[in-house]
Copies of this chain bind each other. A is one copy, B any other.
Amino acid sequence: MRALKKKPVNGMKDILPREKEIRDYVTGVISDTYKSYGFTPIETPCMEDIGNLTGSKGGENEKLIFKVLKRGEKLKLKEAETEADVVDYGMRYDLTVPLSRFYANHANDLPAPFKALQIGSVWRADRPQRGRFRQFTQCDIDIIGDASNLAEIELILATTHTLGKLGFGGFEVRINERRILKAMAGYAGFKENEYEDVFITLDKMDKIGLDGVKEELVQNGYSPKVVEKYVSLFGVLQDNDDISAGLDLLSGHMDGSMDEEAAQNLREIAAAVSAAKSADFKLVFDPTLVRGMSYYTGTIFEVAIPEFGGSCGGGGRYDGMVGRFTGHDVPACGFSIGFERIVLLLLESGFEIPTTPQRKAFLIEKGYPKDKIADIIKEASEERAKGINVLVAGMNKNKKFQKENLKDQGYDDIKEFYRRDAQ
């Protein structure tokens, strides 16, 4: 028999006890906090019909789908011409597409508006790189059926409250509106069918800077005059602290091209969030914020934690997606908290879980009389009934090493049971 492979599959990882305990703790805090805002947990299968995944405007993610081979008679390998002939399902690349399908399927059994909480794995066949895995956990809250910006306000407050409970402070939530993005592109002179392409370049701002964006747009064949007009708009906002003032300023430069409804939407969200917020963060207007997925239709937002270079969560409004399943649109808005990055930050900072129960270890010498072992186990049961975690294990030959190991795992209290005392 050939030996099996010890490593996990390429780009996916095994999670050891210390990290898993932190993950479970973070999951617990997130879940409890979101529930206190009235979000209810749901779960969908990890696989979806391949057509649902490739037809949902998921942007780049659609190129990264792990596809599942057809089974039994349905698989006709010899006749297959393309991938589409041999697969029927795919692994979900986010939780938004499955949620929209879920809502379309169960709307009659769900409250209106429906506030969903999902924590689950997603898969992307991305090039593996440090800190980035091909299976990772997403953690989303979504409000479906609320067209008002009460949805955005609740999503931002719940998510920032949760980050605060996890010990994060001094972070930013950056906000923008797809309608403002479009108004700015329109003002500059881009054609409507060019917008998405222009936004793909704009999205690179944090990597290539304003000059880089300008250069790439011109290289892509857009008129230098239009590009110049576009890029100059982003220079208008120096200090984004006051969202309302920032929007006024931008609007003043756009000769009536601003989408005033969208601007008013952001002003209202900013006012309510700053009045009711509990965590230590700033909400800032960022007209360069794009977010990849073209399924967004209104507000978009992103969390930036200074300890962590990039984004640590984000979301937005996607009023058109449920309609792809049902034929009529339903307003929807969601926020995905950066679960993996939060865990990474806590791991790297040596985080200790505040609620860990006391730990005791009982070590039993080899050859201890079998008929006396029940007494040790009963003693362990009594300790467990008091809320103490008790490990019962055989004593290893190298007892010193074993005890050091146990201390590393938090077992400070170790009781040893020897044959000679078992009379």
Give the chain B neighbours of A69 by CB distance below 8 A. 66-69, 83, 86-87
A14 touching B153 in the complex, CB below 8 Å, given contacts A9-B89, A37-B391, A371-B271: no
A275 contacts B by Cβ under 8 Å:
yes
A5 contacts B by Cβ under 8 Å:
yes
A364 contacts B by Cβ under 8 Å:
yes
Q: Are B5 and A51 in contact (CB under 8 A)?
A: yes
Which positions in A face B, CB cutoff 8 Å? 1-9, 12-17, 20-21, 23-24, 31, 35-38, 40-49, 51-52, 55-56, 66-69, 71, 75, 77, 80-83, 86-89, 91, 101-102, 104-106, 109-113, 115, 121, 123, 125, 135, 146, 148, 150, 153-154, 157, 161, 268, 271-272, 275-276, 278, 324-327, 357, 359, 361, 364, 370-371, 373-375, 377-378, 381, 384, 387-394, 396, 402, 405-406, 409
A20 touching B42 in the complex, CB below 8 Å, given contacts A111-B405, A389-B35: yes
Q: Select which of B15, B71, B396 is within 8 A of A43 by beta carbon.
A: B15
Where chain A touches its partner, the secondary structure class is: mixed
Nearest CB in chain B: distance from A208 CB, A = 27
Give the chain B neighbours of A105 by CB distance below 8 A. 6-8, 14
Nearest CB in chain B: distance from A214 CB, A = 34
Q: Select which of B89, B278, B359 is within 8 A of A381 by beta carbon.
A: B278
Q: Are A392 and B150 in contact (CB under 8 A)?
A: yes
Q: Are A402 and B17 in contact (CB under 8 A)?
A: no
Q: Are B272 and A374 in contact (CB under 8 A)?
A: yes
Question: In the bound complex, how far is the Cα of B88 from the Cα of A9, in angstroms?
Answer: 9
Question: In the bound complex, how far is the Cα of B84 from the Cα of A5, in angstroms?
Answer: 17
Q: Select which of B24, B38, B135 is within 8 A of A31 by beta carbon.
A: B24
Nearest to A405 among chain B residues (CB) is: B111
A20 touching B45 in the complex, CB below 8 Å, given contacts A14-B106, A51-B4, A373-B150: no
Q: Are B38 and A14 in contact (CB under 8 A)?
A: no
